[in-house]
Amino acid sequence: MRRLVLFSPKIIIVINAGIIATQKRDPASWKFWINNRRGQSVILAGLGLVLGLLTQHLALPIWIARAFYGIGIVIAGYPIARAGLFELRLRRADMNLLMTISVIGAVILGDWFEATLVLFLFSLGTTLQVFTFGRTRNAISALMDLTPPTATVKRGNKEVTVPVESIQVGEILTLRPGGRVALDGIVISGSSAIDQSPITGESIPEDKAPGDTVFAGTLNQSGFLEVKVTHTVSDTTVSKIIHLVESAQGSRAPSQQWVDRFAEIYTPIVILIAIAIALIPPLAFAQPFNVWVYRALVMLVIACPCALVISTPVSIVSAIGAATRKGVLFKGGNALETAGRLTTFAFDKTGTITQGLPVVQKVYDLGKVSANMVLQIAASVEQQSEHPLSKAIVAKAHEQGMELEAPIKFTALPGKGIQANLREQLYFIGNQRLFLDQGIRLSGEAESLLAEIEQLGQIPVLIGTNEGLLGAIALSDGIRLEATEALRQLRRVGLKRLVMLTGDRTAVAKQIAQQVGITEYRAELLPEDKLEEIQLLRQKGVVGMVGDGINDAPALAAADISFAVGGIDIALETADVVIVGSDLRRLAYAVELSRRTVSVIQQNVVFSLVTKGLFLLLGTFGFVGLAVAVLADTGTSLLVTANGMRLFKTKTVKD
């Protein structure tokens, strides 16, 4: 089938504003048609067609109309004729050759409008599909931007900033708050929270201490670290992800267009039949030579598959337009058709099924103060912290209308938590390591509470004083409000197998899967593990992958069709479909629209071929003239166009 690309190569979604900005090389952007040679050719060919038709209907001298038509024919026809002749030199006949012969025949017969119209439609379709191939280059560029070009290392008694390419395994990196990790390594000194979401998909920063591993491309948030390099720049985790994306993209060769496959058989047959019509009756049966040459040319003009050429793209354009209004951006006709054949949907967890931000799940007290007091103390102390867990606790307190006190002598303890005074009392807020370092013993009840929270796959934040623990706040990644309904709709449209893939712990994965109703899940996966899971799933059916982060890029590229939610550029570049606003309920709509589109395309193709075949026979044997045949072909084109435009009315899946 013909593959049209309306949203490529690079799409940036600004969800809150609902703005879609495209690069100038995007065929969906008006700048492309002005600044690009192919776009200019299509515009000029269309202008020649319109001006020629207008001049012809104004009853001006025919040479003026033909001059305008000629502009369109030359501009749009040159690349097609060149491609057709190139194939002919290789002893192959394709649709380009048939187009060229048909146009020449139409010009000889004086039907310049038909010749120009056929070329304009054909060149428009081929131009729209050329720009599919820049997506991988932009995706790889976004990945490379993750790692800084230079890093600070300890050499002798000095710290020096050097290019990352010159750093060897075993050297010591120094990382300050706000700096991005340049190379994979192991922490040998210091403690800090590291945002690892680009690599592991984890939304909550992970506390790092001596002996812990850090990855290139991750962000040091709060503390000072010294890291011993374990991998050079060409062997880091992010470099491996780049390689995986390249390999996965390269292994997915574009499907050969159905029209081209059809042309391999159709074109030679039509040409041979035309030659036979022109020569056999005059030579074998003494028929008038000029009559049968005329019929052969008529046959070639009628054979030009105008309706067939537009039957597929008009349906795809209509479906893509309808999907865009619903917030679903298909990057091409191939993606649109594939979505309807899905048998399995694989979901990333963090940022896809979940919100990607920590949310307070429950506040526990140990009987010394109330749960509300535990939350109020924690939120008051956390006000001056920038840690995502702190922000979630403060947000929960504001949600409940609590009045917070201003903390005094606020001190951040990297990798552990914070401490501050409220009035005269010193409070500690943080993890278990903080309380152990302060020599604050946890009671058996407190130990049991921590075990319960961790068993649920949640993160405990402890609140206490020098006298002991007052309570704890359990946080976890919040589930999207529409996630459960979205999965129900997918099952309703016939997708029985739904699988969740995550780099998170098994306990967390199990809890999230149970909450949204997914029975299959895989946990503690690195990017290469997700890729392997997708490849295994593809052995049993057509697989769609839904993700939002850079760590999902290899799996997105390897799936039969990939869907991006959220605003991570690499996911948007690698994925075939972008869900604007990240509403997962639009996935079922995309599947349903795809199935309708394929059905309409099949209807159009069958109708075009049947009509074409009928009038080829009638025109060849002189039952209809050229004007009637062209009118029939134009009528068929209008009918398949109208049928394709019905897709604009495709509605979202409802109960």
Phi-psi region of 225 (alpha: psi -120 to 50; beta: other; left: phi over 0): beta
Reported as type and span, the H/E element at residue 344 is strand 344-348
Residues 6+ apart with CB under 8 A from 223: 177, 190, 191, 192, 193, 414, 415
Residue 418 CA to residue 87 CA, distance in Å, equals: 72
Catalytically active residues, by annotation: 348
3-class SS at 460? strand
Residues 6+ apart with CB under 8 A from 206: 193, 194, 196
| Nearest partner of 480 among 345, 564, 573, 359, judged by Cα | 359
Residue 631 CA to residue 635 CA, distance in Å, equals: 6
Determine how β-strand 150-155 pairs with β-strand 19-22.
unpaired
Determine how β-strand 328-330 pairs with β-strand 185-190.
unpaired
Residues 6+ apart with CB under 8 A from 258: 1, 2, 312, 605
Residue 59 CA to residue 53 CA, distance in Å, equals: 10
DSSP string, 301-315: HHHS-HHHHHHHHHH
Determine how β-strand 577-579 pairs with β-strand 561-565.
parallel
Measured between alpha carbons, how far apart are the two ends of the chain, in Å?
A: 33
Q: What tokens does 655 get?
A: 């109960």
3-class SS at 541? coil
Residues 6+ apart with CB under 8 A from 74: none
Q: Is the dihedral of CA 219, 222, 226, 228 positive or negative?
A: negative
DSSP string, 102-140: HHHHHHHTT-HHHHHHHHHHHHHHHHHHGGGTTHHHHHH
Residues 6+ apart with CB under 8 A from 367: none
Residue 95 CA to residue 258 CA, distance in Å, equals: 11
Residue identified by tokens 């799996």 is 555
Q: Which residues, in sequence order, are bridge partners of residue 348?
A: 501
Write the DSSP symbol of residue 350: I
- CA dihedral 112→116→122→123, nearest 10 degrees, is 150
